[in-house]
Amino acid sequence: MNIVTALSGVVIKELYRRKDFYVLFILTALITLVMGSISFFNDARIARYLKEICLMLIWISALVIATTTTARQIPAERENRTIFPLLAKPVTRWHVVAGKFLGCWLASGMALVVFYFFFAVVSGTRDSHWPLLQYAQIVLLHWAMLAVVISLTLLGSVILSAPSSNMTICLVFVLGILLLGRHLNQVALEQPEPIRSLIYLVYYVIPHLEWYDVRDLIIYEHKLIAWSDCALAGLYAFVYSGFLLMGTWLAFRRKPLHL
Amino acid sequence: MAGVSTQTFASVKSRTIYFWILSLLLVLSFTLATVLQPRAGTWTSRSGAENVLKVVLGDGRRLFANHFFVQADVSFHSGYYPSIFDHTALPKDSSPMIADSEQHDEHAGHACQGEHDHNSAKCSDDHAGCAHDHGEKGHEHDPHEKAMSFLGTPRDWVEAFGRRFMITEHTHLSAGNEREMLPWLKLSAELDPQRVDSYTVAAYWLRTLGKVDEAERFLRDGWRNNPNSYEILFELGRLYHEARKDIERTRNIWELALAKWGEQQANSDEPDLRALSQIAIHLGRMEESEGRLVRAVELLQLAQKASPNPEVLAKDIEELKHKATLPVKAP
C-alpha cells in the first residue's frame, strides 16, 4: 500500500506543477464572475443562471483535468523510459496501475474541492443560501463518477497508442453517456429486434455516469438525496472502477514496455 | 566610435530600418482604417448598434436564442422538463412555453379576464388567481399537468435507480422566484430580437413581480425591434391598463394592436385567432368599464368570431346590448 501511496503522491505533485488546473480554474472563475456582474432587470437576487453556468464550467473542467492527467501517465513513463527504473524497484505493474489511478483520483478530488468551494462562495453570497449537505453530496457523487472516468482513461492509455486519441475517445464516450445514457432504453424500445436487444445490452453494460450528475437538484434547490442511494451509487462506481482497473492491469501486464 | 564594431553598427542600423518600416505600416493601417470605416458601414445592412454576438454568431444565434427560451421554461418548471426523447410530451407548438395556453382562452370573458396567454408559465399564474386555483402544483385534470407527466413508470431497475438522482416532481416557480427565468429570456431576446415571445413573457413576469418600469423598457425594446408586433402591443397595453391605470394610452395601444393584427393576419390562411380574441376581449372589457357599451359590444362580437367556443361570450354580449339600449337615467 505504501508503494501505491508513494506513486500516487508523484501524480498529485504533477497536478499542481502543471498549469492545466490553474488555467481551467481561472477561466471558470473569470467567466462566472463576469456573468455574475451582469445585472438583469436590476434584480440582484437572481442566482440560478449563475449556478447553472458555474456548475457546467466545473463539470467541463473536472472532466478535462481527469482525462488529461490520467491519459498521459503511463505513456509518459514509457516515452521517458522512467518505467524501467520504476519497475526495477520492488514495484509490480499492478502497483503502477493502482498508484496512477489513486494519484489521479485524489488529484481530481482536490481540484473538485477547490472548484466547489468557489461555487459555494459565489452561490452563497448571491442568494444567502448555504445547503452544505447538498454540496457534500454533489462533490462526493462527482468524485465517484470521476473514479470511473479515470479508470476508463487509464485503460485507454494502455490500449490506445497516443494520449490525445485516448483523451478524445474517453471524452466523447463520457459525454455520450451523460447526454444519452438515461434515454437509451427509450430508444431501444422503439427499435425492431434484434437492434432493440443490442441497444438494451449497451444500456446495461455502459457505466451510468448520468446518475452522478445532480446539478439540477442544487440549482433548483430540491431536497437532499437519500444517503443510502448515494452509498449505492458510490458502490456502483467503485465496482465499475475496479473492473476497469482489472482490465487495465491485464492489458498492461502483457504490454511491452519499450516503444 | 572606436569601441563599436562594424557588426554592432550594422545590427543597430537594420533595427532602425525595421522600426521605420513598422512605424510606416502602423501609420498606413491607421490611415486606411479612417478612410474605410465610414464606407464599410454602407457595405452591409448591419447598424453600429448591433452587438458582438450578432456579428460573431450571425443567424446561428437564433438557435441559441431558442435554447435560452426553452431554458427559461425549464427554469420555470424547476428543472423538471421533457427531453427530446420524451417526444410524446413535447408541445406541438414551436415554443414549449405556449404549450397549454389554448385551453384557457374561453375563460377570458369570465373570472380570469383573459389572463391566459403566451405560455405555460403565465397560465399557471393566471390559474392561481382563478377559480381553478392549482397553486404551485397543477391538478391532475389539467392538460398541462398531463403533458408534463412524461416520466411514467420506470422501465427497468437502471431507470428506477436513476430517478433518485433527478427531479421527478412537476412544480412551478412561485413566491417571487419567477425572477430566475428572466436572465434566459433576456439572453434569448439579445440573441434573437425578432423573437417576440421573449419580450412578452419577460414583460409579463416583470409586471407580475412589480418591476413595471423594467417591463415597459423591455417591451419598448421589443417594439423597436418588431414594430409590427401586435403581441408586444397587447402586452404593452396590459402594462398601461393594469399597472399604470392609463386608460387613454391603453386604448390607443390596443386599437393599434388590433389594426396591426388586421394588417398581418386578416388575409392569412391560418390567422392567429387566439391573439385577436385576447386583444378584443381585453379592449372590450375596458370599454365596458368605461361606459362605451356600443364599442364594447363590437369588440366582444369580434372576439366571439375568433373564439373556438363563441357561446361563452354570447351571454355577455346580450347583456351588454340590453344595457346599451336602456335609456340613461337623469341625475
Q: In this complex, which of B78, B156, B206 lies closest to A41 when CB atoms are compared?
A: B206
User: For residue A229, what is the nearest residue in chain B, using CA coordinates?
Assistant: B164
pLDDT band at B107, cuts 50/70/90? very low
Alpha-carbon separation of residue A22 from A55, A104, A123, A139, B301 (angstroms) = 17, 16, 21, 19, 68
| Cα B308 to Cα B276: distance, rounded to the nearest angstrom | 12
The alpha carbon of residue B118 is apart from the nearest alpha carbon of chain A, in Å, by: 21
- Gyration radius (Cα) of chain B, Å: 29
- Tell whether the model's pLDDT for residue B15 goes beyond 80: yes
| Cα B130 to Cα B125: distance, rounded to the nearest angstrom | 9
Listed in sequence order, the DSSP H helices in B178-292 are: 182-191, 196-208, 212-225, 230-238, 247-265, 273-289
| Mutate which: A32, A38, A40, A41, vs B, most B CBs within 10 A | A41
* Number of residues that this document lists for chain A: 259
pLDDT band at A26, cuts 50/70/90? very high
| Mutate which: B75, B86, B166, vs A, most A CBs within 10 A | B166
- Tell whether the model's pLDDT for residue B46 goes beyond 50: yes
Q: In this complex, which of B155, B162, B184 lies closest to A49 when CB atoms are compared?
A: B184
A42/B contact by beta carbon, under 8 A: yes
Is A204's CB within 8 Å of B158's CB?
A: yes
Q: In this complex, which of A42, A183, A204 lies closest to B83 when CB atoms are compared?
A: A183
User: For residue B170, what is the nearest residue in chain A, using CA coordinates?
Assistant: A222
Which of the pair, B308 or B140, is modelled with greater confidence? B308
Q: What is the mean pLDDT of residues B116-129?
A: 41
Q: Which pLDDT score, from 0 to 100, does residue B96 have?
A: 44
- Tell whether the model's pLDDT for residue A29 goes beyond 70: yes
Query: Over pLDDT 70: what percentage of chain A?
Result: 99
| Cα A71 to Cα A100: distance, rounded to the nearest angstrom | 10
What are A133-141's contacts with CB under 8 Å, separation 24+?
A133/A224, A134/A217, A134/A218, A134/A224, A135/A218, A137/A214, A137/A224, A137/A225, A137/A230, A138/A214, A138/A215, A138/A217, A138/A218, A139/A112, A139/A113, A140/A230, A140/A234, A141/A211, A141/A212, A141/A214, A141/A230, A141/A233, A141/A234, A141/B165
**In degrees, to the nearest 5, what angle opens at C-alpha A185 toward C-alphas A181 and A191?**
125
Q: What is the mean pLDDT of residues B14-28?
A: 90
| Cα A35 to Cα B170: distance, rounded to the nearest angstrom | 29
Burial label, B109 (beta-carbon count in 10 A; 0-12, 13-18, 19+): buried
pLDDT digits (tens, 9 = 90+) for A182-231: 889 888 888 888 889 999 999 999 999 999 999 999 998 888 999 999 99
Could you say which DSSP state residue A46 is in? -
Is A43's CB within 8 Å of B182's CB?
A: yes
- Gyration radius (Cα) of chain A, Å: 20
Q: Which pLDDT score, from 0 to 100, does residue B298 have?
A: 81
Q: Identify all chain B residues contacting A219, using CB atoms and an 8 Å cutoff.
A: 79
Q: Which pLDDT score, from 0 to 100, does residue A202 have?
A: 92
Q: Which pLDDT score, from 0 to 100, does residue A7 have?
A: 87
Q: What is the mean pLDDT of chain B?
A: 76
Nearest to A227 by CA among A114, A133, A145: A133
A 198-257 residues with CB < 8 A to B = 203-204, 208, 210-214, 216-217, 219-220, 222, 225-226, 229, 232-233
- Tell whether the model's pLDDT for residue B123 goes beyond 50: no
Q: Which pLDDT score, from 0 to 100, does residue B45 have?
A: 56
The alpha carbon of residue A57 is apart from the nearest alpha carbon of chain B, in Å, by: 17
Q: Which pLDDT score, from 0 to 100, does residue A173 have?
A: 94
Is A45's CB within 8 Å of B179's CB?
A: yes
Q: What is the mean pLDDT of residues A137-148?
A: 95
Is the CA virtual torsion B271, B273, B275, B279 positive or negative? positive
Q: What is the mean pLDDT of residues B151-176?
A: 87
Q: Which pLDDT score, from 0 to 100, does residue B2 have?
A: 57
| Mutate which: B71, B168, B180, vs A, most A CBs within 10 A | B180
Report the helix count and the strand count for chain A, using DSSP H and E. Answer: 12, 0
B268/A contact by beta carbon, under 8 A: no
B179/A contact by beta carbon, under 8 A: yes
Q: Which of A78-82, B60-64, B120-124, B162-166 has the lowest mean pLDDT?
A: B120-124
| Cα A141 to Cα B294: distance, rounded to the nearest angstrom | 67
* E strand spans, chain A: none
Q: How many CA atoms lie within 13 A of B183 on its CB side?
A: 20
B272/A contact by beta carbon, under 8 A: no
C-alpha cell at A229: 442511494
Is A222's CB within 8 Å of B180's CB?
A: no
| Mutate which: A35, A38, A49, A224, vs B, most B CBs within 10 A | A49
pLDDT band at A151, cuts 50/70/90? very high
pLDDT digits (tens, 9 = 90+) for B257-316: 888 888 887 777 788 888 888 888 888 888 888 888 878 888 888 888 877 777 777 887
Evaluate whether B221 touches B105 at the Cβ level (below 8 Å).
no
Alpha-carbon separation of residue B129 from A135, A245, B115, B126 (angstroms) = 36, 59, 9, 5
Q: What is the mean pLDDT of residues A17-23?
A: 88
B 62-81 residues with CB < 8 A to A = 75, 78-79
| Cα B5 to Cα A168: distance, rounded to the nearest angstrom | 56
- Tell whether the model's pLDDT for residue B125 goes beyond 60: no
Amino acid residing at B76 = F
Q: In sequence order, which residues have a C-beta less than 8 Å from that of residue A217 and are 6 or more positions away?
A: A134, A138, A223, A225, B79, B165, B166, B167
User: For residue A212, what is the nearest residue in chain B, using CA coordinates?
Assistant: B165
Q: Identify all chain B residues contacting A229, using CB atoms and an 8 Å cutoff.
A: 161, 164-165
Most confident of A139-143, B60-64, B156-160: A139-143
Q: Which pLDDT score, from 0 to 100, does residue B109 have?
A: 36
Q: Which pLDDT score, from 0 to 100, does residue B88 have?
A: 55
Q: Structural domain boundaries of chain A? A: 2-253
Is A41's CB within 8 Å of B214's CB?
A: yes
| Mutate which: A34, A40, A129, vs B, most B CBs within 10 A | A40
- Which H, E and C letters describe A121-143, residue by residue? HHHHHHHCCCCHHHHHHHHHHHH
Query: Over pLDDT 90: what percentage of chain A?
Result: 61
Which of the pair, B149 or B162, is modelled with greater confidence? B162
Q: Which pLDDT score, from 0 to 100, does residue A56 have?
A: 95
Q: What is the mean pLDDT of chain A?
A: 90
Q: Identify all chain B residues contacting A205, using CB atoms and an 8 Å cutoff.
A: none
Q: How many CB atoms lie within 10 A of CB A123?
A: 25
Q: In this complex, which of B79, B162, B218 lies closest to A220 when CB atoms are compared?
A: B79
pLDDT digits (tens, 9 = 90+) for A36-71: 988 888 888 888 999 999 999 999 999 999 999 999
| Mutate which: A48, A54, A212, A215, vs B, most B CBs within 10 A | A48
Q: What is the mean pLDDT of residues A128-154?
A: 93
- Tell whether the model's pLDDT for residue B322 goes beyond 50: yes
Q: In this complex, which of A186, A208, A219 lies closest to B79 when CB atoms are compared?
A: A219
Which of the pair, B289 or A22, is modelled with greater confidence? A22
- Tell whether the model's pLDDT for residue B325 goes beyond 80: no
- Going along chain B from its start, the domains and CATH numbers come out as 53-192 (no CATH), 228-331 (1.25.40.10)
* Number of residues that this document lists for chain B: 331
A49/B contact by beta carbon, under 8 A: yes
Q: What are the b/e assignments for A29-58, b being 16+ CB within 10 Å?
A: beebeebbeeebbebeebbbbbbbbbbebb
- Tell whether the model's pLDDT for residue B133 goes beyond 60: no
Q: Identify all chain B residues contacting A40, using CB atoms and an 8 Å cutoff.
A: 182-183, 186
C-alpha cell at B236: 404593452
Q: Identify all chain A residues contacting B85, using CB atoms and an 8 Å cutoff.
A: 183, 186-187
Which of the pair, B215 or B39, is modelled with greater confidence? B215
